[in-house]
Structure 1
Amino acid sequence: MMTRSDQSGGSRADDLNRPGFTLPEAAEPGRAAVVGSGPNGLTAAALLARAGWEVDVYEAHALPGGASASGDTLGAGTTVDLGAAGHPFGAVSPAFHELRLSEHGLRWRHPPVVLGHPLEGGEAALLYRDLERTAEGLGEDQTAWRAWHAPVVQDPYGTALNVLGPLARAWPRPLGMVRFGLRAPWSATVAARAAFRTDQARALFTGSAVHAILPPGRPLTAAFGTLFGGLGMSTGWPVAEGGSGAIVAALLSVLTAHGGRVHLGHRVTDLRELSSADLVLLDTTPAQAVALAGDLMPTPVRAPLSRWRHGSGVSKVDFLLSEPVPWRDERLRGAGTVHVGGTAEHLSRAEADALAGRMPERPFVMVCQQQAADPSRAVAEAAGHTVLWTYAHVPLGYAGAVRARIEEQIERFAPGFRDTVVRAVETRPAQLEQWNPNLVGGDIAGGSMAGLQLAARPRPALRPHRLVRPQAGRPGVYLASASTAPGAGVHGMAGAWAVRTALADLHAGRATTPGR
């Protein structure tokens, strides 16, 4: 069982022994341009600036941060996460640890309960930041639950090193990757039925797997259930104190402390305006990268990016409540995240409908109660109120309203919920994309996680982040977004891997086949 010193994260001994993200040797530092200021772009920029590079970040929006931003959209005194809310990957990110974000103001806060999953006619399944306590609550499944999740719980930081990067590489912890890999290829549905007997354990596992935004019957979704559950029971699913924008503020603090610059309201439409840079890193979708780089990209690189597919979307509703959610199982009041959707079978049906373009009657709804860990989310004029963050999985680009369906889902497990609603703000897929063009059709994963797009993001290659190799008089161009390895999540690792690839290319300085 892990020891913990305070709410900010793991124990001090764990923190001292955590691996960071080291960069390879490179030629003399030069100039770098980063397009997009999401967590991946800012991580790339901060790592380069710290290594002595002259770095400029260009952001089309008036505010930095991409989908990791916060605001007071529910009124004065509220802090609402406009995009990402809980951060299981942020807590274990080697890149964030390397940048020492805690020294730049970032504080992780953990709720009493990591995750809750209510079921009709029964007690909710609860996941704690403790494997033993979680297992004990799952009755006859406790032994199987311990055994299934042990590889991640016993070495969460090693697991993060293994999985938060391209799969086609030498794994830093090979034995741990093999143990994890034995659980990964299966569908969550098959794994849950084979490993567990109770509805509680199956729902708790399947709900975590649905973070892939895929039907849990798809291959490899068991990897998500195992990973999210294991991280939750070790390093947790914390929130950032003061909102997810605090993560961006910490990254900006590192960047500017080393001389980096951010240009807001500056939309880059042609890479030729960045021709004086030695490296260009794009925190964009593949389609945007193709539009920017054009014929600079070799055909073997451009072709798979042009075929990139997006998966299901999300539709978001934020609520200001007069009191905490009146969950039928009162223990859920202490949960940072609640998966609302019913049994594993219900989740499977809802996800299949969304992917097929049908709006589910009872969609999967993710509810975040950040105030369970961070009381600052409602202060001053909003004191005594509760800020509630929710989204539902919907068909890509769905244009209809979902507030009523989200309320109906929550009401199933929290009778009287509607009576507590003071204010609500709904943000549909088109509005999400308008706010952040990387969220195409409400796709928060940067592209479908199905099949090859999970295993080889954004294309099969030994260096998937490389779009254009640097040559004399022409900058190297690299993709540094959730559309490349290791995928979605506020962890900065896609940006970190893009930097590592770029510096390795400069150090090697030898001509090879483009895109390989």
Structure 2
Amino acid sequence: MTDAIVIGAGPNGLVAANVLADAGWRVEVLEAQDQPGGAVRSDRGVHPDYVNDLFSSFYPLAAASPAITALGLEDHGLTWSHAPIVLAHPLPDGRCALLHRGLETNIDAFERSFGRPDALAWRRLSRLWQELDPCLVRAMFAPFPPVRTGLALAARLRAAGLLRLARLAALPVRRMAEEEFDRDGPGLLLAGCALHADLLPESPGSAVFGWLMAMLGQQYGWPVPVGGASALSGALVRRLESRGGTIRCGTRVSEVVVRSGRALGVRTADGDSVRARRAVLADVPAPHLYGGLVAGEHLPAGLLDGVRRFQWDFATVKVDWALDGPIPWSADEARRAGTVHLGANMADLSDYALQVTTGRLPARPFGLLGQMTTADPSRSPAGTESAWMYTHVPQHVVDDLGPDGITGRWDEKEGEAIAHRMEEQVERFAPGFGDHVAARRVLTPPVLERLDGNLVGGAINGGTTAAHQQAVLRPVPGTGRPETPIERLYLASACAHPGGGVHGACGANAARAALRAQGVVTGRLLGPALAAAQRALAGAGDA
């Protein structure tokens, strides 16, 4: 019998398994796909000479996350690489807003391109980050509520600073740009970062999300694993195996076995039963766990009702390219950036986000484009580029504002149509781009979900980033922690706080909760009490 079963070998599941193995637990990870990694995988499926990441590519959150940095993955074969420039946002007039590693480099760049007032405004925003470092990052990734790091933040900021931070947390990024900057470039960098999630430039909280991503880039960069995303997953796997953990791929879990309110193990789709002496950790979507792997009869009705209301983030379409040369950007500086945001101005970004939110497929999609060979020369032959672009699309398409009549079936014809639309957007800023496409691959929402079951409907963040589904409201009101109403069962996926991104915190928090529940005192008191508390909170809506 194993001590713990981890369902899912994505980054959260692998981090959780490593934390438990470090504590001496015997851990077995069961993964439905034929290889580990979840949404952190790469292959040569576009062209045999090119490495393309299937899903995620750049990892600022991993570089900053205490959960991942504590694992010392560099000792297990992981090497990071950086593009010369972190991020570029080309403007229609040929200028380009750039984000570099290093505050002073950014100040100089903003002053040259957008004037001294905007450079000084960027310094003010950076000074707030410096005041909060590292407490803010630790608070972000800690279980909710982050008591210790919260107190450290309060001690640093005092009352006036806390009020300023609270206002920033509620501020839309459009309003921040209007307040802070005279020119459009710096604000577009922040707004583009906010659109990595499903936040409109007018959404409360979009400013702090955009600012966070930009400050992470300035301090840590947006690094990539040398050799492809699978190198990060491979390091996690090797580390786990070096500590006695095991992974079984091609093994789909069909049920969490529950008796008398306690998780005893799992049953696989092949009919095998696997017992867990201490814990089951589920790196699966909350709607798949509650009422799916765990039968509804074991759960409070209020929790099931909350899960019914769970909101996914936007769906995603991703196109991978093998290019026979560099992308011919009109703004020459964009050629040295790892990531390029493609949206002309703030109105473009707002129109796009509102259209997706209301179920309309944009005619001119905002895109995030990755130049992977620029970031890691091992990805393709010299003088070429392994690249990708993704754009968000509605989970349910009610109208297509473009000429193709896309319905959201996402068959091959519709995939080709949206890919062509995305390539037209690249051409706006890089005329002649299409001449360099040697091969491409189109990943529509159903393809993404088929490759990784956690990407439900092509949602890549494990649920909306909006404030109504964060912290104690994630995944449903009254939760916010990895404990579940079932004793010894823990939610370890991005549906749990702190949410999406490759940072491993959801898995680490779940593993530490499982370890705490096995203490001499906590094993008898805290574990059952927390499970009871989750039942009470989740069942608050029971009639």
What is the letter of the counterpart of residue 229 of structure 1?
A: A
What is the letter of the counterpart of residue 72 of structure 1?
A: R
Aligned-residue CA RMSD (Å):
1.9
What corresponds to 2:405 in structure 1?
none
What is the letter of the counterpart of residue 493 of structure 2?
A: S
- How many residues align structurally? 480
Take 1:337 and 1:368, find their aligned partners in 2: how far apart are those partners? 5
Deviation at 1:278, TM superposition (A): 1.8
What corresponds to 2:78 in structure 1?
106
For 1:317-466, list aligned pairs within 5 A.
317-379=319-381, 383-396=382-395, 398=408, 399=410, 400-401=414-415, 402-455=418-471, 456-461=473-478, 464-466=481-483
What corresponds to 1:481 in structure 2?
493
- 5+ long unaligned stretches in structure 1: 1-28, 471-475
Take 2:421 and 2:127, find their aligned partners in 1: how far apart are those partners? 37
What corresponds to 2:270 in structure 1?
none
For 1:464, what is the secondary structure of its paired residue? coil
Relative to structure 1, the CA distance from residue 393 to residue 71 in structure 2 (aligned partners, 3 Å threshold; closer, same or farther) is same
For 1:363, what is the secondary structure of its paired residue? coil
What corresponds to 2:127 in structure 1?
150
Take 1:65 and 1:164, find their aligned partners in 2: how far apart are those partners? 21
Take 1:451 and 1:91, find their aligned partners in 2: how far apart are those partners? 25
Take 1:221 and 1:112, find their aligned partners in 2: how far apart are those partners? 27
For 1:251-290, list aligned pairs within 5 A.
251-272=236-257, 273=267, 274-290=274-290
Tell whether 2:196 aligns with 1:195. no
What is the letter of the counterpart of residue 333 of structure 1?
A: R
Does the CA-based 8 Å contact 1:433-1:439 persist in structure 2?
Answer: yes
What is the letter of the counterpart of residue 100 of structure 1?
A: G
Q: Deviations for 1:285-331, whole angstroms, at most 9, x for unmatched residues?
A: 11111100123333444432232111211100001111010011111
Take 2:304 and 2:244, find their aligned partners in 1: how far apart are those partners? 33
Deviation at 1:463, TM superposition (A): 5.3
Tell whether 2:153 aligns with 1:174. yes
Deviation at 1:87, TM superposition (A): 0.6
Which one of the candidate residues 468, 484, 489 is aligned to 1:467? 484
Deviates more, 1:415-424 or 1:131-140: 131-140
What corresponds to 2:199 in structure 1?
214
Does the CA-based 8 Å contact 1:92-1:156 persist in structure 2?
Answer: no
What is the letter of the counterpart of residue 124 of structure 2?
A: A
Take 1:228 and 1:276, find their aligned partners in 2: how far apart are those partners? 38
Take 2:322 and 2:372, find their aligned partners in 1: how far apart are those partners? 13
Which one of the candidate residues 138, 158, 161 is aligned to 1:161? 138
What corresponds to 1:293 in structure 2?
294
Which one of the candidate residues 91, 96, 101 is aligned to 2:63? 91
Take 2:331 and 2:221, find their aligned partners in 1: how far apart are those partners? 21
What is the letter of the counterpart of residue 222 of structure 1?
A: A
Does the CA-based 8 Å contact 1:183-1:226 persist in structure 2?
Answer: no
Take 1:42 and 1:330, find their aligned partners in 2: how far apart are those partners? 40
What is the letter of the counterpart of residue 390 of structure 2?
A: Y
Take 1:390 and 1:452, find their aligned partners in 2: how far apart are those partners? 29
Does the CA-based 8 Å contact 1:446-1:487 persist in structure 2?
Answer: yes
Take 1:103 and 1:180, find their aligned partners in 2: how far apart are those partners? 37
What is the letter of the counterpart of residue 442 of structure 2?
A: E
Q: Deviations for 1:95-149, whole angstroms, at most 9, x for unmatched residues?
A: 1111111111111111110000011013110000012221332223111111113
Q: Deviations for 1:250-281, whole angstroms, at most 9, x for unmatched residues?
A: 11111101110101110110112344442011
What is the letter of the counterpart of residue 366 of structure 1?
A: L
Deviation at 1:154, TM superposition (A): 5.8
Take 2:2 and 2:256, find their aligned partners in 1: how far apart are those partners? 17
What is the letter of the counterpart of residue 352 of structure 1?
A: L
For 2:254, what is the secondary structure of its paired residue? coil
Does the CA-based 8 Å contact 2:190-2:214 persist in structure 1?
Answer: yes
For 2:321, what is the secondary structure of its paired residue? strand
What is the letter of the counterpart of residue 292 of structure 1?
A: L
Deviation at 1:40, TM superposition (A): 0.1
Deviation at 1:370, TM superposition (A): 1.7
Does the CA-based 8 Å contact 1:117-1:338 persist in structure 2?
Answer: yes
Take 2:481 and 2:230, find their aligned partners in 1: how far apart are those partners? 29
For 1:297-308, list aligned pairs within 5 A.
297-308=299-310
Deviation at 1:356, TM superposition (A): 1.0
**Which structure would you say has the larger Rg?**
2
With normalisation by structure 2, the TM-score equals 0.85
What corresponds to 2:261 in structure 1?
none
- 5+ long unaligned stretches in structure 2: 258-266, 268-273, 397-407, 538-543
Does the CA-based 8 Å contact 2:43-2:54 persist in structure 1?
Answer: yes
What is the letter of the counterpart of residue 495 of structure 1?
A: G
Q: Deviations for 1:358-406, whole angstroms, at most 9, x for unmatched residues?
A: 1111111000112112111014xxx542111111111115423311111
Take 2:307 and 2:239, find their aligned partners in 1: how far apart are those partners? 32
Q: Deviations for 1:145-170, whole angstroms, at most 9, x for unmatched residues?
A: 11113232565543321212345231
Deviation at 1:460, TM superposition (A): 3.3
What corresponds to 1:18 in structure 2?
none
